[in-house]
Chains A and B, each alone.
Chain A
Amino acid sequence: MKKDLKKTHREPAVLFLLLVFPVVLTFVFGLAFGGIGGGGTTSFDVGLLNLDATSPQADWSDAFTDNLTSSGVFVVQDFDDNVTGQEALLQGNLDAFIVIPEGFGDSVVSYYGAPFNSSAWTNTTMGLYVDSGSLMAVSAVPPLVQQVLMKTIFGSEAMSIGLPIEIGSPALVASSTFTQWDFMAPGIFAFAAIFLTMIVAQSMTYERDEGLLKRLRTTPVSSADYMISQTLTYMIIAVIQVALVLASSFAIGYRPAVGPAGIAFTFVIAVAFSLVAVGFGLIAAAISKSAEVSTGVSFMFIMPQMFFGTFMPLGGPSSTIARFMPSKYITDALTTLYLRGAPITTPVIWYNLAIVSVVGILLVALGIYLFERYGYR
Chain B
Amino acid sequence: MSESAIEIINLTKRFDDITALDNLSLEIGWGELFGILGPNGAGKSTAINVLNTLLEPTDGSATVDGHDVVFDPDNVRKVIGVCPQKPAFYPHLTGEENITLMGEMHLVPKDVLRERVKTMVEKIGMEDHIKRRAKDYSGGMIRKVSMLMALISDPKIALLDEPTVAMDPKSRHAVWDFIRELKTQGKAIILTTHYMEEAQELCDRVAIIDEGRLIELGSPTELMEKHQAKNLEEVFLKLTGKKLREEF
Instruction: Tell whether A pairs with B.
Output: yes
Given contacts A3-B93, A3-B97, A214-B54, contact A219 B102 (CB under 8 A): yes
A375 CB to closest chain B CB (Å) equals 14
For residue B81, which residue of chain A has the nearest CB?
A: A218
Of the 9-residue stretches A6-14, A309-317, A333-341, A357-365, which lies at the interface with chain B? Answer: A6-14
The A contact surface, by secondary structure, is helix
Q: Which of A2, A3, A215, A220 contacts B88 (CB 8 A)?
A: A215
For residue B82, which residue of chain A has the nearest CB?
A: A218
Instruction: Evaluate contact between A215 and B84: CB separation under 8 angstroms.
Output: yes
Contacts of A210 in B (CB 8 A): 86, 88
Q: Give A209-229 as 1s and 0s: 1 = Cβ < 8 Å from B's Cβ atoms.
A: 011101111111100000000
For residue B149, which residue of chain A has the nearest CB?
A: A215
Instruction: Evaluate contact between B105 and A219: CB separation under 8 angstroms.
Output: yes
In chain B, residues 119-155, which have Cβ atoms closer than 8 Å to a Cβ of chain A?
Answer: 133, 149, 153
A33 CB to closest chain B CB (Å) equals 36
Q: Is B63 an interface residue when CB atoms closer than 8 A count as contact?
A: no
Contacts of B102 in A (CB 8 A): 215, 219
In chain A, residues 199-258, which have Cβ atoms closer than 8 Å to a Cβ of chain B?
Answer: 210-212, 214-221
Contacts of A212 in B (CB 8 A): 88-90
Given contacts A3-B90, A7-B92, contact A219 B106 (CB under 8 A): yes
Contacts of A215 in B (CB 8 A): 82, 84, 88, 102, 149
Instruction: Evaluate contact between A214 and B74: CB separation under 8 angstroms.
Output: no
A210 CA to B102 CA, complexed, in Å: 16
Q: Which of B84, B92, B149 contacts A10 (CB 8 A)?
A: B92
Contacts of A11 in B (CB 8 A): 92
Instruction: Evaluate contact between B88 and A217: CB separation under 8 angstroms.
Output: no
Instruction: Evaluate contact between A221 and B105: CB separation under 8 angstroms.
Output: yes
Q: How large is the interface on A (under 10, 10 to 19, 20 to 34, 35 or more residues)?
A: 10 to 19
A41 CA to B184 CA, complexed, in Å: 82
For residue B80, which residue of chain A has the nearest CB?
A: A218
Given contacts A3-B93, A218-B54, contact A211 B88 (CB under 8 A): yes
A11 CA to B92 CA, complexed, in Å: 7
Q: Is B46 an interface residue when CB atoms closer than 8 A count as contact?
A: no
Instruction: Evaluate contact between B77 and A218: CB separation under 8 angstroms.
Output: yes
A221 CA to B149 CA, complexed, in Å: 15
In chain B, residues 50-99, which have Cβ atoms closer than 8 Å to a Cβ of chain A?
Answer: 52-54, 74, 77-78, 80, 82, 84, 86, 88-90, 92-93, 97
Q: List 15 A-B contacts (CB under 8 A).
A: A3-B90, A6-B92, A6-B93, A211-B88, A212-B88, A214-B88, A215-B82, A218-B53, A218-B54, A218-B77, A219-B102, A219-B106, A220-B77, A220-B105, A220-B107
B residues contacting A by CB (< 8 A) are 52-54, 74, 77-78, 80, 82, 84, 86, 88-90, 92-93, 97, 101-102, 105-107, 133, 149, 153
For the complex with contacts A3-B90, A219-B77, 4 further pairs of A-B residues with Cβ separation under 8 Å are A7-B90, A11-B92, A211-B84, A220-B78
